[in-house]
């Protein structure tokens, strides 16, 4: 069994795989009072509940955009598996099939997304990642990352509006049927969700216009399926793109 871990701003996702494919995925909120022992107990409990009580892990690769959490997760995993784990970072990027832009700054998850895109498509690919942040990453046909655009994610926008206003509630992320709402909840939903539909469409159009070549567009992230009016603009919607990219990197 092999393990890849994606530590995001909202969730930690663990993917266990063998030569036969993915075996099990685990997910938990990122921001907890983590200790190495807490991590070890959590992962053992989750695996046991899913019928994987006796697991031998041969390799571990971690991607993280939350440095303070990474330290405890790394310690816990190393104690559990009994050997040093690998961390996504600039030293590792040198051996990848993609040319990483600003390797000391770019999020490891965006690198993993780019590796997946370059591995699966013989074209320029724009990866739209609907996470805590909404990111657009372009990797060209040669594997060179051409640039990134970052905006607040859907949940981030809703929470910001809720926390910065006195009378507006936090609302569920459900696509409204109308561009205009008829009460407070539907008004917020229409403004944010239809607004994000427009932003994503505009970003896709601008990137394609600037590149002047065929650009494949793929979507990932936990919220990638909410904006249903965008489905026709994506060549692929896959919530596991980041984990798949990490798996490809680990196998390299």
SS3 124: strand
Helix axes 108-120, 241-251, angle to 10 degrees: 80
Q: How far apart are CA 31 and CA 14, in angstroms?
A: 15
Q: How far apart are CA 191 and CA 122, in angstroms?
A: 37
Task: Answer yes or no: 129 catalytic.
Answer: no
Q: How far apart are CA 226 and CA 155, in angstroms?
A: 11
Helix (H) / strand (E) containing 13? strand 11-18
| Tokens, residue 174 | 């459900």
HEC profile of 204-247: HHHHHHHHCCCEEEEEECCCCCCCHHHHHHCCEECCCHHHHHHH
Q: How far apart are CA 184 and CA 190, in angstroms?
A: 10
Q: How far apart are CA 204 and CA 207, in angstroms?
A: 5
Catalytic residue among 6, 11, 104, 109: 109
| Tokens, residue 226 | 């909410």
Q: Smallest Cα–Cα separation from 4: which of 116, 98, 151?
A: 116
Q: How far apart are CA 59 and CA 66, in angstroms?
A: 21
- Contact yes or no for 127/134 (Cβ under 8 A): no
Provide the annotated active-site residues: 109
């Amino acid at each position: 069994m092999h393990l890849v871990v994606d530590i995001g701003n909202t969730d930690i996702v663990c993917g266990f795989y063998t030569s036969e494919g993915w075996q099990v995925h685990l997910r938990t909120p990122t921001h907890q009072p983590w200790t190495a022992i807490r991590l070890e107990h959590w992962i053992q409990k989750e695996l046991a509940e899913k019928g994987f009580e006796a697991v031998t892990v041969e390799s571990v690769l971690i991607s993280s955009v939350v440095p303070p959490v990474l330290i405890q997760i790394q310690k816990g995993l190393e104690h559990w598996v009994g050997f040093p784990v690998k961390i996504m970072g600039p030293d590792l990027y040198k051996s990848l099939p993609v040319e990483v832009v600003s390797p000391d700054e770019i999020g490891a998850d965006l690198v993993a997304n780019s590796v997946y895109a370059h591995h699966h498509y013989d074209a320029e690919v724009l990866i739209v990642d609907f996470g805590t942040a909404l990111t657009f990453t372009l990797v060209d046909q040669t594997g060179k990352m051409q640039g990134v655009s970052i905006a607040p994610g859907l949940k981030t926008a809703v929470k910001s509006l809720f926390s910065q206003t006195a009378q507006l509630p936090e609302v569920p992320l459900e696509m409204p049927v109308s561009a205009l709402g008829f009460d407070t909840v539907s008004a917020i939903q229409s403004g944010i969700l239809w607004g994000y539909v427009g932003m994503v469409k505009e970003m896709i159009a601008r990137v394609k216009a600037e590149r002047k070549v065929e650009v494949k567009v793929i979507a990932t992230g936990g919220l990638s399926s909410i904006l249903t009016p965008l489905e026709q603009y994506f060549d692929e919607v896959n919530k596991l793109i980041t984990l798949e990219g990490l798996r490809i990197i680990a196998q390299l």
